[in-house]
Structure 1
Amino acid sequence: MSLSNPDAQTTNVDDQNLDSIKLYNDLCYDLSSLQELACRGAWRSILDKVSQARSRSLLSKPHEHLIYLSYNAIALTKLRRFNEAVAELDLVEKGLDIYRYETYPHHYPNRHGSMAPFVLRWLHAELPSRLGKRQETLDRFYVLLQFIKEKLSNNLGDESRKVWKKREALVINSIISHHLSHREFGVCLELMKELISRESTDRPVARAILMSKLGYIQMQFGDLEGARGSFGVIEGIVNEEKGESIEMMKNLVNRNKALMFMVEKDYASAVREYQECIDRDGSDVVAINNKALCLMYMRDLSDSIKVMENALERIPTIALKETFVVNLCSMYELAYVNHSDIKKTLSSWIARVAPDDFDTSCTRI
């Protein structure tokens, strides 16, 4: 069963990547409908829409082809059709830097710079790992990180610098995720400390999130005192700062305390911390998932199942994650002789409400 702690993990196709192509909304054919489909997880519909636009020659400008290619590649990646996604990127991989606005002055008067969405560079680095080529992915991410650092060394405006700093953090987190999955903790620690050292002290929420990730990494290789110290820094930030965003960080403090209790096998105390999170924010799926696991470890399977089922009924679009469903199905297997019938009912419900990229094999029917 899996403990949920997304504060310490990286999403595979990050929202920042989608944000990087929303900037073209005033320039691209029917982009808003693609954005809406992506938000709904309707990835197959995106493939159909891109195919139709291409076949009907509806894309007339160079950047439109790049934007539609980006959505197509994201959709293929989400649907785990990795070979097709790689083939899509092969169309532009070697020529991303030639797609510049100034090359097409009749289409883009007074515009300068690359029109290639950053997501294409990110996918170019990420996709080899989906085909079993982990080292190739790491090599490409490090090359991409150097590319970003070179951008940041230029004389950028404030807004451009903010965008590239976000991209730098995204790539470093992607690198950390790949190293962490192979328990290469030393590299993860160095990278995370580098991120923390660069984070401005006037962004307490961002700093608290990074410290939480650091603490999680420290826990992974048994440095419990180090983790306790990192979590203590977060608590200090939350106690000292004011404002609505800091209020949101209180759940982070409770979740971190609960993790330490779980390591110590004090599940009752962990449940109390997670319940405090849920009372504050009923959509905190991390707290809901982990509270249910603690109840299960306390041999209270009935209540643990109720916690999970109530969340799926109350906040289905938020709670419907593969890890969440895997844990619930494991509880069914432990609690019921007829667990196969119960899981089939759950699977039928998932088929009706889940996004296209949901992995239905997690029910283990």
Structure 2
Amino acid sequence: MEADSLDLQPEPLPPSSDPLSNKFASLNDLAHELASLQDLSNRGSWRSILDKVARARSLSLLTTPHDHLTYLAYNVLAFTKLRRFKEALTELETVDDFDSHHYRYETYPKIYPTRSGSMVPFSLRWLHALVPIKLGDRQEGLDRLYLLLDFVRGKMKEKEEVAASLDVWRKREVFVVNNIVTEHLKGKEHGVCLDLIKCLLARGDSDPHLLSKLGYIQMQIGDLEGAKGSFDEVEKQNSLNETELTNMVSRNKALMYLVEKDYVSAVREYDACIERDAMDAVAINNKAICLMYLRDLSDSIKVLETSLERVPTVALNETLVVNLCSMYELAYVNHSDIKRTLSNWISKVAPDDFDSSCTRI
């Protein structure tokens, strides 16, 4: 699940037992002007979301408990995206207990006559774990992520006989495990990461992203044969569209070449990715780095600049800009002027959450 796209689904019910499902012809049937909030989030207009939530609250436009929780989730996400983590935490603290009866449909039979279960968006539970990490309390955040994983697995047991519902919770499980693995990787706790991923894979969840992450971790600890085996397994998967899967396979091959310092072969793989998908920002960034290792700084800069000109909304991320600015510093005496020009351009096209300090002016 993308962090920008909130998982606002209530606990899924079997279609036959959910008469309301036929009423939800649009996002706005789920919550007040939800389509507008979703559109703003897709465009990275996080300040506009804060304004919209504040207006809806001040004018008492939110009339149901679910409306309040949905707008709360968007507000917390917007504060988090804008790195206003203390304000995000303040919003989260307005919810006393996610499992309280106050946040269950059956508590309000007149409003939700045919619904039962929790109305808390899954995204809100995830943000509840993420915000402490952003505030520097890693252990609290990890504890909450593990509690969230237990919650998800509990739901999976409840939904075993309902295929559609079970699929939703399986995707959420993979999402939470990925979050946990990411945090453990920051602490170089590779053993924990391997155990978490292998536990999912042993159960038959051969998610290509998980397999790729497993291979990456195996590379980190020097298990190149294990990494190659994991990357080979990625090629056998069919849960992604052809271009996405083929590019993932090529990027994995490129990583193996990078370990061997065969930068020419790595560039070839990244070129193939970019030819298939001009918006593959990972391939674009890594190709530029490989060219830098090959001492072709001019072409390296050209790759990144071209990507920004062609697809700024995709290529414009802090990692790519940091690398481009580093290359400017290596290539030009007047790099400050060049970086200032880049920074001015970024200010016109970047989403609200872009960290302009990455240009290091």
CA contact (8 A) 2:215 2:228 kept: yes
Match status 1:46 vs 2:52: no
Distance 1:338 1:129, change over 3 A: same
State the superposition RMSD in angstroms: 2.0
SS of residue in 2 equivalent to 1:94: coil
Q: State the alpha-carbon separation in 1 of the partners of residues 240 and 49 from structure 2.
A: 36
CA contact (8 A) 1:255 1:274 kept: yes
Cα deviation for residue 49 of structure 1 reads: 0.5
Distance 1:58 1:190, change over 3 A: same
Aligned positions of 1:1-365 closer than 5 A? 13=3, 15=5, 17-18=6-7, 20=9, 25-98=28-101, 99-156=103-160, 157-200=162-205, 207-235=207-235, 237=236, 245-365=241-361
Q: State the alpha-carbon separation in 1 of the partners of residues 244 and 325 from structure 2.
A: 31
Cα deviation for residue 233 of structure 1 reads: 2.4
Q: Percent identity?
A: 61
Write the letter of the residue equivalent to 1:209.
H
CA contact (8 A) 2:219 2:227 kept: yes
Cα deviation for residue 290 of structure 1 reads: 0.7
Count how many residue pairs are aligned between Structure 1 and Structure 2.
345
Q: State the alpha-carbon separation in 1 of the partners of residues 312 and 159 from structure 2.
A: 46
CA shift digits 1:72-107 (9 cap, x unpaired): 000001011111111101101425432111111111
SS of residue in 1 equivalent to 2:91: helix
Write the letter of the residue equivalent to 1:65.
H
Cα deviation for residue 225 of structure 1 reads: 2.0
Q: Which moved more, 1:263-272 or 1:23-32?
A: 23-32
SS of residue in 1 equivalent to 2:194: helix
CA contact (8 A) 2:243 2:277 kept: no
Write the letter of the residue equivalent to 2:118.
S
Structure 1 residue runs without a partner (length 5+): 1-9, 201-205
1:203 aligned residue: none
Write the letter of the residue equivalent to 1:166.
K
CA contact (8 A) 1:93 1:124 kept: no
- What TM-score results when the alignment is normalised by the length of structure 2? 0.91
Q: State the alpha-carbon separation in 1 of the partners of residues 255 and 173 from structure 2.
A: 29
Q: State the alpha-carbon separation in 2 of the partners of residues 14 and 140 from structure 1.
A: 20
SS of residue in 2 equivalent to 1:233: helix
Cα deviation for residue 146 of structure 1 reads: 1.1
Write the letter of the residue equivalent to 2:46.
W
CA shift digits 1:140-193 (9 cap, x unpaired): 111111112222222452222111111111111111111011100000001111
Q: State the alpha-carbon separation in 1 of the partners of residues 75 and 49 from structure 2.
A: 7
Q: State the alpha-carbon separation in 2 of the partners of residues 330 and 321 from structure 1.
A: 14
Distance 1:216 1:232, change over 3 A: same
Distance 1:63 1:283, change over 3 A: same
Q: State the alpha-carbon separation in 1 of the partners of residues 186 and 96 from structure 2.
A: 27
Structure 2 residue runs without a partner (length 5+): 11-23
Q: State the alpha-carbon separation in 2 of the partners of residues 326 and 104 from structure 1.
A: 51
CA shift digits 1:233-254 (9 cap, x unpaired): 233x16xx7x982453222221
CA contact (8 A) 1:43 1:79 kept: yes
Distance 1:247 1:38, change over 3 A: closer
CA contact (8 A) 1:258 1:274 kept: yes
Cα deviation for residue 25 of structure 1 reads: 3.5
Write the letter of the residue equivalent to 1:40.
R
Q: State the alpha-carbon separation in 2 of the partners of residues 166 and 329 from structure 1.
A: 37
Write the letter of the residue equivalent to 2:57.
R
SS of residue in 1 equivalent to 2:29: coil
CA contact (8 A) 2:4 2:42 kept: no
Q: State the alpha-carbon separation in 1 of the partners of residues 55 and 99 from structure 2.
A: 24
Q: State the alpha-carbon separation in 2 of the partners of residues 140 and 93 from structure 1.
A: 15
Q: State the alpha-carbon separation in 2 of the partners of residues 154 and 20 from structure 1.
A: 17
